Amino acid sequence: MALLWQKKTHNTHYEVRTAGNSLRLYTNGVFHSQYHPEKPLTGYVWDLLMLPVFFYPPDSIKRVLVLGVGGGAVFHSLRHFIRPELIVGVELDDVHVKIARRFFELKGRGIELHTADALHWMQHYVGEKFDLIIDDVFAEQEGQPMQVTTATQNWLATMRKHLSAQGMIVKNFVDQKTLATAIRQGNIKHGFRSLFVLSGAKDQNQVAVFMRGDAGVHDLRQHIKTMPQLAAALKSGKLKYAVRRL
């Protein structure tokens, strides 16, 4: 991979690298995002963060909140496949926000980016509710991704307060162990009617889906098949995922 741009500030090393025709963001050696203008599917965890929208009819997701922007990979897949009216991103690292705008094309109508602590922002947010909230807040520790938010009842309740009547929360867990710990430590199902976990072929990540409405695995699969590009990716093996009820 060729180095396109880098910056060092205090203890943080930012790199934008090219991988073929894709751009990748690395922070302290941790792979944070990938963007290819002609390929909305990345083959990595960001696909799993987008796919849960298809538990519902695609046109039902109008307002999206993304906590933890990175380079904004999930923004591009959401805009490509379902075209929500608004995607709001909250990111603590102002360098990430600048990189997302400069290199990863996170700008234009329908995108709002805020440089803020996601927990603080959520606790003080006053405004219209969201149909989808994605919690992808991570930091780095010794070259490994580190989860910042935990799936406590209080944190889930804070996010749930800002969901629309049929809204969903999609939360990225770094691995199966982290998800299992969250399940043991509290009743994370409280206040939700449908819960699922998605996993992929290239990552250890477990993506949990907390839904206020009713849906099933069949709904997800049927709605995905209505999207020609996703249906073709499934058939060719470019899109691989597993899903189970939680």
Residue 40 CA to residue 42 CA, distance in Å, equals 6
> What is 41-245's CATH number, 3.40.50.150, 3.30.470.20, 3.40.50.10860, 3.40.50.2300?
3.40.50.150
Residues in a beta bridge with 245: 196
Are 210 and 195 a contacting pair, CB within 8 Å? Answer: yes
What tens digit of pLDDT does each residue of 25-50 get? 999 998 999 999 999 999 999 999 99
What tens digit of pLDDT does each residue of 183-197 get? 888 778 899 999 999
Residue 95 CA to residue 125 CA, distance in Å, equals 23
Check residue 27 and give its pLDDT. Answer: 93
What is the domain partition of the chain in residue ranges? 41-245
pLDDT band at 204 (very low <50, low <70, confident <90, very high): very high
Rounded average pLDDT over 184-212 = 92
